Amino acid sequence: KAECCITEVKHLQNQIRNLQGQLKSLQDIINKKHKVEDFINGSQTNEKLFAANGSAGDYKTSKATCSQAGGHLASPRTSSENGAIQRIIQRYNKAAYLDINDMQTEGIFKYQSVEVIGYANWAPGEPNDTGGEEDCVEMYTDGRWNDRSCGEERLIICEF
């Protein structure tokens, strides 16, 4: 049986115990912050934290605002992310732009102008490109999507 009394091993065991303690307190802090974020103005899934601060803007302004904050304009890739964004929209009772558009090719919606979307939650009859000028996407309070012109004033929701 290996001796447990070699100095180095004891030292390492101590270090591991210390790290475990530190990890535990970090987890506690993170859990608490998640609750606070949810309480104030955030909403999250396991991977993404969505947040709004009440400001509004058109699509271009919304994108710039989120990127200045070190994030991206919200672009849901799953129904759980869609639901997290919807909770914020309901809290403010104001629709928000998503970072999804069909500017490049009419009818082909892409995330951040690059990648064809793999998830969608269109409202019935959408996208309809009303007036031939709806290349942005807004989320309604019911979580459904509508293609919309990019120049409206919408709640800004960023993802981090």
Using CB under 6 A as the binding rule, the residues of this chain from 20 to 79 that contact ligand GMH are: none
Strand 115-116 relative to strand 154-155: parallel, antiparallel, unpaired?
Answer: unpaired
Using CB under 6 A as the binding rule, the residues of this chain from 117 to 156 that contact ligand GMH are: 125-126, 128, 130, 134, 146-148
- In angstroms, the Cα distances linking 82 to 3, 73, 77, 103, 139 are 55, 13, 7, 22, 9
x/- letters, 84..123, toward ligand GMH (CB under 6 A): ----------------------------------------
CA 52/CA 35 separation, integer angstroms? 16
With CB cut-offs between 5 and 8 Å by kind, which of ligand GMH, Ca ion, none does residue 125 bind?
ligand GMH
Q: Which amino acid is at 100?
A: I
Per CB under 6 A, residues contacting ligand GMH are 125-126, 128, 130, 134, 146-148
